[in-house]
Structure 1
Amino acid sequence: MASTVMTPVLMIEPSSWLRSGITVEKVNGVNLIKFTNELHTRLEELLEKRKVQLLTPQEETEYAGITELERVLTFVNAKLIASCEY
């Protein structure tokens, strides 16, 4: 079995947004976990700055943490949707 290479990334812990940055919304009968409007707006701001390479080191760690949380929520939501299809 091939070994997986893990690259360390400096980021703000995604769990720091669990209380204030996410919400549960029912979509087509399925409860999905989504970013609050505020966190979504912040991600968009950071993404725009990143596109033009204007992120500060602190903003880079914030961006890394939010995008990691986004990946986790995408995975969890896919599992929730799949479990409702049976």
Structure 2
Amino acid sequence: MMTQTMVKPSSWISTGIITAKVRDRYLFKFSETLQERLDNLNECLKGIGLNDQEKAELAGILELDQIFTLLNAKIISES
């Protein structure tokens, strides 16, 4: 098993997480700033590559994205 360093997803609680009303329920989403950062990291990954710190940041954001996907699916299924 390979160990991967990542920025803790909880580090974005105060600045990177919002809830948005979608139809009749509130779902978790990235803030505009965090979404832009994710897009930027993905572009760099495709182009010039990422340094270790950026790789750790991207891994944390992607982990948070997986968490949101699961939480939002649960919210939708229980409505």
TMscore range, shorter length:
over 0.9
Q: Using the alignment, how far apart are the partners of 1:61 and 1:47 within structure 2?
A: 13
- Alpha-carbon distance in 2 for matches of 1:49, 1:55: 6
The structure with the largest alpha-carbon Rg is 1
TM-score, L = length of structure 1:
0.86
Structure 2 residues not aligned, in runs of 5+: none
Q: Distance in 2 between matches of 1:54 and 1:79?
A: 35
* 1:12 is the counterpart of 2:7: yes
Distance (Å, rounded) in 1 between the aligned partners of 2:20 and 2:64: 17
Moved over 4 A (4+): none
Root mean square deviation of aligned Cα? 1.1
- In the alignment of these two chains, the number of paired residues is 79
The unaligned stretches of length 5 or more in structure 1 are: 1-5
Identity of aligned residues (%): 42
1:6-47: CA deviation from partner (whole Å, max 9, x where unpaired): 643200000000111010111010110000000000000000
Task: Identify the match of residue 40 of structure 2 among 42, 45, 48.
Answer: 45
Closer, same or farther in 2 for the Cα pair 1:28/1:16, shift >3 Å?
A: same
